[in-house]
Amino acid sequence: MKISNCRLLWTDGNRFSLARGMQLWEIDRDGTRVGSAAALGSLLERTISYFRLPRQLLRLGIHHMVPLPDGKLLVVVRKRVILLDPQTGKSQLVFRFPRGNKPAHRGVCATDDGCVFMGEYVMNMDRSQPIELYRSTDCGRTFESIRTFPPGDVRHIHFVQWDPVERLLWMGTGDADQECRLYKSPDRGGTWRLIGGGSQLWRAVGVAFRAEALYWGTDAGSDAGTHPNYIVRFDRNTETLQTLCEIQGPCHGSATLKDGTIVVSTGVEGGTNEQDGSSHLWVSKDGTSWSNVANFRKDRMPFILQYGVLRFPTGLEKSESLAFTGMGLSGAGEKVFLGKIS
């Protein structure tokens, strides 16, 4: 199934939350719309963000949606965070980002007790800005900074994710070798232990969880020269990192399906370390044998508008089917794909 001109944000395996600009709605596994749609922002913002090209150029629209235990939805749009009550349609502005437009694709997560985490993602080319990790302990009503990386320490936060296996948090940073790090927190962000770092092998935009290990594709992007990219495995017990196979370009997505299948996607940024001009989808049933099952060519639009990427929704680990959004790709400018892996 393919749905054009929208982004897939979240799934629980039965429902799928999609956004077109500032409009949010749900479908079931058959593609039937369920419930009512919600529209956020001003009339001007809704109008401009409805169209793909200005939406991508201005970074408008809904970028993250996270369901909370109290039934409300945490929604991230450009430079701000909104709490949405899906029953009444009422929304409340709860936070404005002091720097940057939004967290990275895996830069927002929630725990089952109502804690919400957001990692700051700023261009920060000269490393002159501090980078904050924010937390809410009251279901997204208020936020505070719980960790500050001082200027010059890291460029930005790539992800903060809840691990359903060990029931704890993981956080990744980038981008230069010494800035690429993996952290682990057992106490809802109270303390963080540095697990590894110091090379592009630790540069990840997100991780995929299985019982035995964490998996990710490395994100050595257009700034990394000729450094190749790989799918890697981090063993939970030994805390050792293993290179599994080389991939065609920087990874823009890593996720696990309900049956443990791992999916990794590469992106197109125009870097000299990319093998071709396509975004590739890699799949493994066991974490050992990997197959490149699909690829999509970059479209003709400039990189400043949108890299060519395949992005997996939050909650994919609860789904029996593969689901992703193609962006900046030929035939998949901003298109949602739902279906089984053949």
Task: Encode pLDDT of 176-197 as tens digits.
Answer: 999 999 999 999 999 999 999 9
CA 88 to chain centre: 28
* pLDDT surpasses 70 at 120: yes
Judged by phi (left if over 0) then psi (alpha if -120 to 50, else beta), residue 100 lies in left
The predicted model gives 279-293 an average pLDDT of: 97
Amino acid, single-letter form, for residue 110: A
Amino acid, single-letter form, for residue 218: T
* pLDDT surpasses 70 at 238: yes
* CB crowding 79-101: b at 16 or more within 10 Å, else e: ebbbbbebeeeebeebbebeebb
Q: Are strands 322-329 and 213-217 parallel, antiparallel or unpaired?
A: unpaired
| Distance (Å, whole) CA 14 – CA 29 | 6
Q: Give the model's pLDDT for residue 342.
A: 63
* pLDDT surpasses 80 at 48: yes
- Model confidence pLDDT, tens digit, residues 309-341: 999 999 999 999 999 999 999 987 899 999 877
* pLDDT surpasses 70 at 42: yes
* Domains defined along the chain, listed by start: 1-85 (2.40.10), 86-339 (2.120.10.80)
Mean pLDDT of the chain, nearest integer: 95
* CB crowding 141-169: b at 16 or more within 10 Å, else e: bebeebbebeeeebbbbbbbbbbeeeebb
- 292's tokens: 């490149």
Least confident interval from 33-47, 92-106, 121-135, 170-184: 33-47
* CB crowding 296-318: b at 16 or more within 10 Å, else e: bebbebeeeebbbbbbbbbbbbe
Q: Give the model's pLDDT for residue 112.
A: 83
88's CB contacts (< 8 A; 6+ apart) are none
At 132, is the pLDDT very low, low, confident or very high (cuts 50, 70, 90)?
Answer: very high
Q: Give the model's pLDDT for residue 267.
A: 97
Q: Give the model's pLDDT for residue 35.
A: 83
The predicted model gives 223-242 an average pLDDT of: 96
Neighbours of 210 (CB within 10 A): 18
Amino acid, single-letter form, for residue 91: S
In DSSP terms, 134 is beta-bridged to 118, 145
126's CB contacts (< 8 A; 6+ apart) are none
Q: Say if residues 85 and 42 touch (Cβ distance below 8 Å).
A: no
- Model confidence pLDDT, tens digit, residues 62-117: 999 999 999 999 999 999 999 999 989 999 999 999 999 999 999 999 998 889 99
Q: Give the model's pLDDT for residue 224.
A: 87
Model pTM score: 0.95
At 43, is the pLDDT very low, low, confident or very high (cuts 50, 70, 90)?
Answer: very high
The predicted model gives 236-260 an average pLDDT of: 97
Amino acid, single-letter form, for residue 246: E
| Distance (Å, whole) CA 317 – CA 259 | 8
* pLDDT surpasses 70 at 172: yes
DSSP annotation of 127 reads: S
Nearest CA among 259, 258, 276 for reference residue 267: 276
| Distance (Å, whole) CA 172 – CA 160 | 7
